């Protein structure tokens, strides 16, 4: 498919692109549906509960029922809200979340767009979602939503910086911004993957990523016990569903990105396990990251906003820069 | 120059972290609170006025609904006050039953506090852990008096029901179980860095302020004032048992947290001794006249509820109904310090501080 992107656009190609897009959309929607189910089950087990078990066998259709409910719910727009922005915000949040998935390579051959600046593309597009959250908070004309939106803006901006700088080390080691070649260059043995040589960068990346996802312990924008629901407090029905969808699509994106950048993508942990298809390894790593994200939600309390800012600017950013420096020194001394 | 304005934010009465229908109007400068005005009374039911038309036995169910998280202690304070006024003798077995249910209730109440406080701070799981263990106590009460929340268990002169066969053994089995769970709670939560960062040094006040505001319970003891009515002015059978009163030093939310969890341990210690010394079969109801008519006069009795000093002031004219009945509700009194603590804090700390005071809105509004 990468080759087609370079050719002139014909109707046939456009149709193919469209079809691939639809397939990816279906995969993502399927993931979101069952990620929510999985999250509820995992947290349920951790809390001595059963989790959803009524709709369908083992509760498998619970998320489907929830989404159907949201779909047929009345769509309310507050009278004093800024109508145009209020309607725009959920869509604006979702589009970049979906668009960043284009550059994720799943195996050596299975990928959508093979862009040379794939990592940059990911980071740049995911920043747009912040605007959507501020818009949503602002246009709702609700004080809680405004506070949530403002918190979110502050949080996402201050965590995007360490997030980007933490992956610079990986980029330096592999000498490429192309996600496919970054994944490809990681070795056959699991200790050759980026997460061990880049352990500082990996830890910073995970912390910043959790914060970017607005998940516990960094779920301040929607801190339920303080701000009731944060920026989407006035949204209902399918517009609300879009915000939720965005969040889970970002879980998908971040889990996939972590797998590609730090966990060797589709590589098997040992060369003698190479006969197992790469996609299986990718999915295993991907699922463990998703599980990790759900796990900390059941474990940790929420951090305070000033502590969050302090952590971002005073700890993560210097550590990330130090990581870049150490990587540079290492490369100067040993790689050359 | 950017023009900034203060934001007037209405927290409650429908808000997940005000623990009921309690409302605070806060003025926010960014995220910093410049002024806070609590508004109470959304759950006011006029218990004290209603009591003037009821006889003493009829008032007991109303006390259940005052502090609904700790109904046994509110039951007790009324019965105890009337008994003291009339000079009634309570059989030893009944007094033991009362003490056991009150200490179980203290454990249950602190468990509710612990779970909801961590829920406020953003940790979801402890809430379910706490309620799992509280459920055992609730089931014990259910077995005893058929109710899970509003027990209406005590009567003037004794208790309504004797312990069913095997009940005391169940309480005995519960004590080591709960001690294990308490260690588990400490393992899970107490050392968590985020949690410590959230509550250490938050909502600080000194002993003098605490006394001036009339605080009691863990809110007072967190400043280091050794004042627990079970020790300072022993009532019931508390002078027979050995237990410590945990004290804090700094008067912050962290101290209050530790004190409450330690109080659970001390309650279990009392329970252990009470179960051992539990007397053999006997009456659970003393000799009480058919119509309860305390002699004319006034009397104030205070006991230690999980939230602090709960008091009952009876003014009697020698009739079957009180002339005036006044409850000193610890939640209401402890809440008065809130506006002072909130100024200069962030919106997030509002929840931490309010949760740390441990109010029950039913008791605040009465």
Cross-chain Cβ contact A225/B31 below 8 Å: no
**Between chains, do A301 and B118 touch, taking CB under 8 Å as contact?**
yes
Q: Give the A:B interface size as CB pairs under 8 Å.
A: 84
Asked whether residue B106 carries a pLDDT value surpassing 90, the answer given is yes
Residues 6+ apart with CB under 8 A from A302: A216, A217, A218, A219, A220, A223, A225, B121, B122, B123, B194, B198
- Condensed to tens digits (0 to 9), the pLDDT of residues B16-56 reads 777 778 888 988 887 788 989 988 888 888 899 999 999 99
With beta carbons less than 8 A apart as the criterion, state whether B342 and B353 touch: yes
Name the least confident of A143-147, A156-160, A224-228, B173-177: A224-228
Vertex B201, ends B197 and B206: CA angle to 5°? 165
* Minimal Cβ distance to B122: which of A144, A301, A307: A301
A192-195 long-range CB contacts below 8 Å, 24 or more apart? A192/A264, A193/A262, A193/A263, A193/A264, A193/A267, A194/A170, A194/A261, A194/A262, A194/A263, A194/A264, A195/A262, A195/A263
* Among A227, A212, A237, A221, CA closest to A86: A237
The verdict on B201 touching A (C-beta cutoff 8 Å) is no
Q: List the structure tokens of A78.
A: 């507050």
Q: What is the CA radius of gyration of chain B?
A: 21
Among chain A residues, the shortest Cα distance to B123 is held by: A301
In chain B, which residues have their Cβ closer than 8 Å to the Cβ of A49?
Answer: 128
Q: Phi and psi (nearest 5°) for A79? A: -60, -40
Cα separation, B161 vs B146, in Å, equals 10
CB-count exposure of residue B240 (10 Å: 0-12, 13-18, 19+)? middle
For an interface test with A, the pick among B10, B22, B194, B355 (most A C-beta atoms closer than 10 Å) comes out as B194
- Distance, CA of B334 to CA of B306 (rounded, Å): 12
Chain A residues with CB within 8 Å of chain B CB: 43, 46-49, 143-144, 146-147, 151, 216-217, 219-220, 223-228, 297-307
Preferred mutation among A48, A150, A301, A315 to probe B, highest tally of B CBs within 10 A: A301
CB of B129 within 8 Å of a chain A CB? The answer is yes
Q: Tell me the chain B residues in contact with residue A48 when contact means C-beta distances shorter than 8 Å.
A: 128-129, 132
* Residues B111, B131 contacting (CB under 8 angstroms): yes
Coil/strand/helix, residue A278: helix
Cα–Cα distance measured from residue B211 to residue B209, given in angstroms and rounded to the nearest whole number: 5
Residue A332 binned pLDDT confidence (cut-offs 50, 70, 90):
confident
Residue B305, SS3 per DSSP: strand
Distance of alpha carbon A264 from alpha carbon A188, whole angstroms: 8
User: 3-state SS of chain B: helix, strand, coil percent to 5?
Assistant: 50, 15, 35
**A13-44: burial string, b at 16+ Cβ within 10 Å, e else:** eeeebeeeeeeeeeebeebbbebbbbbbbbbb
Question: Given B10, B122, B189, which is nearest A223 (Cβ)?
Answer: B122
3-class state of residue B158 by DSSP? strand
Q: Give the nearest partner residue to A301 out of B10, B16, B195, using CB atoms.
A: B195
Q: What does the block give as tokens for A137?
A: 């908070």
Distance CA B324, CA B317 (A): 9
Name the residue among B201, B204, B249, B242 with its Cα closest to residue B225: B249
Nearest-angstrom CA–CA distance, B253 and B204: 7
Give me the pLDDT at residue A2, please. Answer: 58
Is the ipTM value over 0.85, yes or no? no
Q: Which of A48, A299, A306 lies closest to B346 in CB terms?
A: A306
* Mean pLDDT, chain B, integer: 89
pLDDT band at B212 (very low <50, low <70, confident <90, very high): very high
H or E, element range at B325: strand B324-328
Residue with the larger pLDDT of the pair A6 and B99: B99
Substitution target from B124, B184, B193 for chain A, most A beta carbons within 10 A: B124
Does pTM top 0.90 for this prediction? no
Q: Where is B159: in which H helix or E strand?
A: strand B158-159
Confidence of residue A57 (pLDDT cuts 50, 70, 90): confident
Which chain B residues are within 8 Å of A149, Cβ to Cβ? Answer: none
Query: For the segment A66-111, what is each residue's pLDDT rounded down to a tens digit?
Result: 888 888 888 888 888 888 888 888 888 888 988 888 888 888 778 7
pLDDT band at A1 (very low <50, low <70, confident <90, very high): low
Closest-CA distance, A268 to chain B, in angstroms, reads 35
Q: Contact, B66 vs B47, CB < 8 A? A: yes
* Mean local confidence (pLDDT), A203-217: 86
Which of these ranges, A147-161, B210-224, B284-298, has the smallest mean pLDDT?
Answer: A147-161
Which is nearest to A285 in space by CA: A252, A263, A270, A253?
A263
DSSP-derived 3-state class of residue A140: coil
Question: Above 80 in pLDDT, residue B231?
Answer: yes
With CA atoms as reference, report the closest residue to B257 among B203, B305, B311: B203
First to last CA, chain A: 35
Q: Which of A46, A151, A227 sits opposite B125 (nearest CB)?
A: A46
Looking at the partner chain, which of B10, B118, B348 has a beta carbon nearest the beta carbon of A226?
B348
B9 and A46: CB-CB below 8 Å? no
């Amino acid at each position: 498919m990468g080759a087609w992107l370079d050719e002139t656009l014909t109707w046939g190609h456009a149709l193919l692109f469209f079809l691939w897009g639809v397939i990816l959309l279906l995969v993502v929607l399927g993931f979101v549906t069952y990620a929510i189910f999985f999250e509820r089950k995992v947290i349920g087990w951790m809390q001595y509960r059963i989790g959803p078990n009524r709709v369908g066998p083992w509760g498998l259709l619970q998320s489907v029922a929830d989404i159907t409910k949201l779909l047929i719910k009345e769509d309310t727009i507050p009278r004093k809200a800024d109508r145009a922005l209020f309607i725009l915000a959920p869509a604006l949040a979702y589009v970049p979340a979906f668009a960043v998935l284009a550059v994720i390579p799943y195996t050596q051959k299975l990928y959508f767009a093979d862009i040379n600046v794939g990592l940059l593309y990911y980071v740049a597009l995911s920043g747009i979602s912040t605007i959507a959250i501020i818009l949503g908070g602002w246009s709702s004309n609700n004080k809680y939503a405004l506070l949530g939106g403002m918190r979110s803006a502050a949080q996402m901006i201050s965590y995007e910086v360490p997030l980007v700088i933490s992956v610079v080390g990986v980029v330096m080691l592999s000498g490429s911004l192309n996600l496919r070649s970054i994944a490809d260059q990681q070795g056959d043995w699991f200790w050759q993957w980026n997460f061990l040589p880049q352990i500082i960068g990996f830890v910073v990346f995970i912390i910043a990523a959790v914060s970017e996802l607005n998940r516990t312990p960094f779920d301040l924008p929607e801190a339920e016990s303080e701000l009731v629901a944060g920026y989407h407090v006035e949204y209902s029905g399918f517009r609300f569903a879009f915000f939720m969808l965005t969040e889970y699509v970002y879980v998908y994106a971040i889990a996939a990105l972590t797998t590609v950048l730090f966990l060797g993508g589709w590589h098997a942990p040992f060369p003698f396990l190479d006969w197992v298809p790469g996609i299986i390894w990718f999915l295993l790593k991907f699922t463990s990251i998703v599980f990790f994200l759900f796990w900390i939600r059941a474990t940790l309390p929420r951090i305070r906003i000033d502590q969050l800012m302090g952590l971002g600017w005073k700890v993560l950013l210097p550590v990330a820069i130090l990581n870049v420096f150490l990587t540079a020194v290492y490369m100067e001394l040993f790689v050359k | 120059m950017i023009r900034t304005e203060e934001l007037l934010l209405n927290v409650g009465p429908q808000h997940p972290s005000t623990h009921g229908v309690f409302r605070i109007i806060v003025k926010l400068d960014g995220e910093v609170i410049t002024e806070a005005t609590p508004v109470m009374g959304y759950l006011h039911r006029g218990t004290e006025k209603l009591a003037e038309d009821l006889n003493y036995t009829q008032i007991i169910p109303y006390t259940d609904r005052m502090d609904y998280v700790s109904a046994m202690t509110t039951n007790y304070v009324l019965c105890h006050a009337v008994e003291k006024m009339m000079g009634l003798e309570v059989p030893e077995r009944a007094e033991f039953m009362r003490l056991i249910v009150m200490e179980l209730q203290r454990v249950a109440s602190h468990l509710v506090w612990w779970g909801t406080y961590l829920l406020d701070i953003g940790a979801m799981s402890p809430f379910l852990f706490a309620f799992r263990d509280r459920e055992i106590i609730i089931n014990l009460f259910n077995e005893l008096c058929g109710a899970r929340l509003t027990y209406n268990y005590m009567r003037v002169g004794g208790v309504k029901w004797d312990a069913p066969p095997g009940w005391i053994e169940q309480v005995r089995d519960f004590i080591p179980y709960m001690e294990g769970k308490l260690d588990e709670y400490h393992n899970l939560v107490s050392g968590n860095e985020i949690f410590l960062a959230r509550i250490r040094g938050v909502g600080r006040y000194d002993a003098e302020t605490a006394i001036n505001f009339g605080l009691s319970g863990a809110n007072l003891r967190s400043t280091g004032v050794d004042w627990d009515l079970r020790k300072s002015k022993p009532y019931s059978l508390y002078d027979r048992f050995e237990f410590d009163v945990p004290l804090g030093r700094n008067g912050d939310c962290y101290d209050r947290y530790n004190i409450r969890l330690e109080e659970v341990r001390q309650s279990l210690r009392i329970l252990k001794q009470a179960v051992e010394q539990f007397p053999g079969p006997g009456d659970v109801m003393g000799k009480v006249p058919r119509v309860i008519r305390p002699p004319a006069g006034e009397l104030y009795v205070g006991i230690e509820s999980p939230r602090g000093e709960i008091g009952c002031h009876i003014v009697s004219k020698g009739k079957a109904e009180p002339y005036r009945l006044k409850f000193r509700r610890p939640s209401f009194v402890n809440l008065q310090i809130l506006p002072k603590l909130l100024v200069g804090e962030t919106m997030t700390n509002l929840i931490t501080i309010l949760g740390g005071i441990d109010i029950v809105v039913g008791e605040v509004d009465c």
